[in-house]
Chain A
């Protein structure tokens, strides 16, 4: 059901930027890109979302390519607490059903 493709796992050094890619080549014009993360033994947590413009908030930045077929979540200065599974989700704004794939396991190492 999920319409996104993400790497299974990635490593990042503490203090460096973590760049998590997501491929959504079949995205429709009215579908948004959302990112959630799930820290071990917790429920998922919302990070950021966007339609076609790049977005930034206090947690992360979202870069969406011009053709909208892929995006990158950027954690500018990763800490050990950012170790989690990161899910990239596409969803029509007015339809609240989320399809979570298997996500990317980000390991932040000291």
Chain B
């Protein structure tokens, strides 16, 4: 079974530039999550989708971050404009449903903002 795919794996940009990350969850998984993991910390949930609807985006900095999951499968996370403090690993995860125990994580995208 294929796992959660993410691209790119690494991205370096300058502050005030824009960047987008892509995630393809495990086939059949209705719930998709985006996490931000700053170096030395645990992952922090940014946004959770159930199919193509947003369940929780309370920790998403909406002035610069946006995310979509238009057809209930793939998802993109965008930052516009980026700040130095956005340097982190962005992890995508998926699960069969909201009440399901196990989340499956992708390898992450490491973003460096200069």
Contacts and interface: CB of A to CB of B under 8 A. Distances in A.
Interface residues of B, number: 24
Contact of B42 (A34, A96, A102): A102
Contact of B98 (A34, A43, A96, A100): A96
Contacts of B40: 102
A68 interface: no
A94 B99 contact: yes
Contacts of A45: 105
B24 to A, nearest CB: 14
Interface string B31-68: 10000000011111100100000001000000000000
**DSSP class of A's interface residues: helix, strand, loop or mixed?**
loop
Contacts of B43: 44, 98, 100
Interface of A: 2, 34, 41-46, 49, 85, 87, 93-94, 96-98, 100-103
Interface of B: 4, 31, 40-45, 48, 56, 91, 93, 95, 98-108
25 contacts: A2-B42, A34-B101, A42-B105, A42-B108, A43-B4, A43-B105, A43-B106, A43-B108, A44-B91, A44-B103, A45-B105, A46-B102, A46-B104, A94-B99, A96-B48, A96-B99, A96-B100, A96-B103, A97-B56, A98-B43, A98-B45, A98-B103, A100-B44, A102-B41, A103-B42
